[in-house]
Amino acid sequence: MNKNLPVDQFNAFIQCGQPYIAGETNKPLSNFSFGIKDIFDVAGFPTAFGSPDWLNTHPVATQTAPAVLDLVQQGATLVGKTHTDELTYSILGINAHYGTPTNPNYPNRIPGGSSSGSAVSVAGKLVDFAIGSDTGGSVRTPASFCGIYGMRPTHGRISLKNARPLAKSFDTLGWFARDPEILFEVGKTLLKEEHKSNTQAIEVIAPKQAWEIVPDGLRRLALKRVQEIFIRNNVVNKDDSLYYWLFDTKVDKIKLTEYKNVSSLDSTKVIE
């Protein structure tokens, strides 16, 4: 029994083999606690995968998932594992064997799944953030249902080693937080590198037909903002040639523009 487990009035945490790993001190995440969806291995503890049959037919884990180790090494303290839909096969958050976690913000509604316990543990203020997985919406759905932030990064961006799969070509590690600053800090640890502002994009495609169905005022405002973003974010090196869509908000057509130097509009050449 994990004596450090928060008082769980929402049934967010599993009760079989609760791990506790104290985070390292004087690290970026040292003041934060977190839970992990019960698909991630922690050495010395079982992974139930939301299923009593799975629990009874699989050995105790001998390795800890790298993503969990990364968070602990950056100071976050693991306080337990959270409920999931059985074998993660649902987005409702319902588990017939272990009970459905209670949505803290909307108790009469389902929490969403399959990362139900992780979302509920965050929404219920039991932990600062939590780790889940997203195959077809299993982070995004419970985040929206519980009224918190949820992040699903690019597929394959974060290791899912020592985690139970649902569909490997879609499974993606994601995380939850109530505070966007915490969401950001956790992301820096899991993603392991800063966003590169000097992105070498090839083109951005915006089908003309899609914009034609948008009301004129809204279209002009949206295209103006897109234009400002491209110009503000110097997306090419000084000597690079980059093609992308530039939207002329003064006329109702889209021009493909070549920028020799994105910082100078005088150097543009319109390709008809």
d(CA 142, CA 150): 8
Alpha carbon 263 to chain centroid distance? 33
Out of 114, 115, 116, 121, which one is annotated catalytic? 114
Whether residue 138 lies in the annotated active site: yes
Out of 37, 81, 115, 116, which one is annotated catalytic? 37
d(CA 18, CA 47): 10
Whether residue 159 lies in the annotated active site: no
- 40, 89, 160, 164 from 51: Cα distances, Å: 14, 11, 20, 12
List of residues 6+ apart from 185 with CB closer than 8 A? 28, 29, 32
Cβ atoms of 119 and 148 within 8 Å: the answer is: yes
For residue 225 the two structure tokens come to 């903002």
d(CA 137, CA 91): 7
Strands ordered across the beta sheet of 253-259: 242-248, 253-259, 268-271
Strands ordered across the beta sheet of 33-37: 77-82, 33-37, 129-134, 172-177, 149-151
Residue-level length of the chain: 272
Out of 51, 118, 133, 138, which one is annotated catalytic? 138
DSSP 8-state assignment for residue 166 = S
Whether residue 253 lies in the annotated active site: no
Cβ atoms of 75 and 81 within 8 Å: the answer is: no
User: Could you give the residue numbers annotated as active site?
Assistant: 37, 114, 138
